[in-house]
Amino acid sequence: MRNPNEVLEAMPELLRRFHEANLERILRAIRKYWPAQFDRDFFERVSGHVALFDQDSAAMSEAILLPTQQYLDRGGKRLRPLLVALVLESYGADPGAYDLLLGAIECMEDSSIIMDDYIDGSELRRGGPCAHRLHGFAGANVGACTGFAIAEYVFFNNELNLNQSLVLRLLNALAWETIQMAFGQIEELYWTESNVNRVTVDQYLQETVSRCGFLTFRGPLRYGGLIAGAPDEDIPVLERIGESLLVGYHLRGDNLDMDPDSDAWGKVAGEDITTGRRTLLINYLLQTAEEADRAELVGIIESRTEDDARKRRVYDMVVKYGGFAYSRGLAEEYNELTKQDVDRLHISDTYKQLLHQFSDFASVRRKV
């Protein structure tokens, strides 16, 4: 498991204290939500269907629970449930009354990154082998898709005891987000598999928001606000904050993939080059590099190389053409947009400051 101190060392002080105060609650919520064993009672609870015949509970646990459980066991920043707790509390709700939501958000996130890993052909996640390396592509796919779908029982069975109109609103949002995720995921996959070298910055950012918006920050902010009874005018602002936060966080991640600045980075450095992903840095080079450099870059990206020297050439090009500075500047721009929207929320200054610090951490200070 990754050392929490390494993960959180870059957090601003107020946010770090909030994280420390809520971490044990979040871990308990995950354990409460995610069972150690997939037995008949749990199946009937989450599916709303009484089984007619015997089920192989051990096989279901091995196939469905284990891949996501392994990712959960390796730790992580737990930013999504932390954000839910922050929003609930900022509007006067008790996060302890919604621990199933905290657990569901984190488990949906871990299931979704299993999908990302096998689509990208990644090697490591949080310092350990990716799920498809341990269970095969079919096993990782089944485990990830089922793990993600299971989260819907929290709303389908209304285990949070919400009024029906709110439950329908939450389920409608979840259905919409799932469609957006599919559009974004297939777009990124097409660019990679077809070696598309004409992706604009705006296209890349839209694909990122579609693919990652819900589970990164938009979902936690929207669901926390809706459940806590935030004013109607705050909900679209929370959603917009989630999108701006995501952009900053993702841009920071693209930079860290090529140039990690912490020993806690739990992936292979330069993995985006090996997998042929058209990140913002790669798309920026494809649009700005001189012809000879661009031709060399295309050859390296399309080769899916694992050679450190060739990956270093891409790094040198990013430095030569100011790619890191461009990406950092864009992340800082979205950090400021986030803070401007935070100041529009009807919450106390203390929680605005916490959200400001969350944005600083996600967009600028994140190390892992």
Distance, CA of 293 to CA of 321 (rounded, Å): 10
Average pLDDT along the chain: 89
Q: How confident is the model at residue 64 (pLDDT cuts 50, 70, 90)?
A: confident
Q: How confident is the model at residue 269 (pLDDT cuts 50, 70, 90)?
A: low
Q: Is 177 exposed, middle or buried (0-12, 13-18, 19+ CB in 10 A)?
A: middle
Distance, CA of 192 to CA of 302 (rounded, Å): 9
Q: Is 95 exposed, middle or buried (0-12, 13-18, 19+ CB in 10 A)?
A: buried
**Residue 218 confidence (pLDDT) above 60:** yes
From 18-27, 35-44, 213-222, 237-246, the region with the lowest mean pLDDT: 35-44
**Residue 151 confidence (pLDDT) above 90:** no
Q: What's the mean pLDDT in 104-114? A: 89
Q: What's the mean pLDDT in 125-142? A: 89
**Residue 3 confidence (pLDDT) above 60:** no
Fold of 4-365: Farnesyl Diphosphate Synthase (1.10.600)
Residue-wise pLDDT for 305-361, tens only, equals 989 999 999 999 999 999 999 999 999 999 999 999 999 999 999 999 999 999 999
Q: What's the mean pLDDT in 292-303? A: 95
Which tokens in the block code for residue 135? 């269970």
Distance, CA of 258 to CA of 267 (rounded, Å): 11
Q: pLDDT value at position 263?
A: 60
Distance, CA of 13 to CA of 255 (rounded, Å): 24
DSSP conformation class of 125: E
Give the orientation angle of helix 280-288 with respect to helix 201-213, to 10 degrees: 170
Q: For the chain, what are the domain ranges?
A: 4-365
**Residue 265 confidence (pLDDT) above 60:** no
CA angle 132, 136, 138 (to 5 degrees): 100
